Amino acid sequence: MKPFIFLDRDGTLIVEKNYLDDPAGVELIDGAARALRWLRAAGFGIAVITNQSGVGRGYFDIARVDAIHARLRELLAADGASIDAIYVCPHTPEENCMCRKPRVAMLEAAAREHDVDLAASFVIGDNASDIDCGRNAGVASILVRTGYGSSLEREIGPRADFVAGSLLEAAQWILRSRGIVLESLT
């Protein structure tokens, strides 16, 4: 079994663009690729778990989401980083599906498909649905202040295991908490 980092996409890994529907608009948050390189070097698998209600609302289709994810993978690869998998909930909140965060079906799918050790894993995100998803699955959760995180910190920060300024700072905290020396990963 392997520990994983479960990342929210918008506002955590890439800049929040509010219903991003154009691959050209994908922009990595500063330090995100370096954080993923460090986490990968420390033995973590990496998966993106993202609610994309724009599909269910008819703003764009799943092919457009796939194109955005292809662009995301391309940008990460250009900076020496990668992800193992991407899990998407295309439903609106009103559909009450089992995959939409804060529910845990995306984490459970990843656990089955990648032999994930959930107890040793982390969820990182900028919204209550991310933090609560981690808590609901028994996975440590980290709120990042990028995206919506800074405006929601007062409300949801106490529910998180840690609050970080960014994905890079979250990665540093994870590695320190595991006794991993950052200098050995650069």
Cα gap 143→89, rounded to integer Å: 20
Q: Rounded to the nearest 5 degrees, what angle is found at the Cα of 26, between the Cα atoms of 22 and 28? A: 175
In degrees and rounded to multiples of 5, residue 99 shows phi and psi of: -95, -20
Catalytic residue among 10, 126, 130, 132: 10
Residue 161 designated active-site: no
Catalytic residue among 8, 126, 130, 132: 8
Q: Are 162 and 142 in contact (CB under 8 A)?
A: yes
Residue 10 designated active-site: yes
Sheet strands side by side (includes 4-7): 85-89, 45-51, 4-7, 122-125, 140-144, 162-164
Cα gap 162→143, rounded to integer Å: 6
Q: Which residues are catalytic?
A: 8, 10
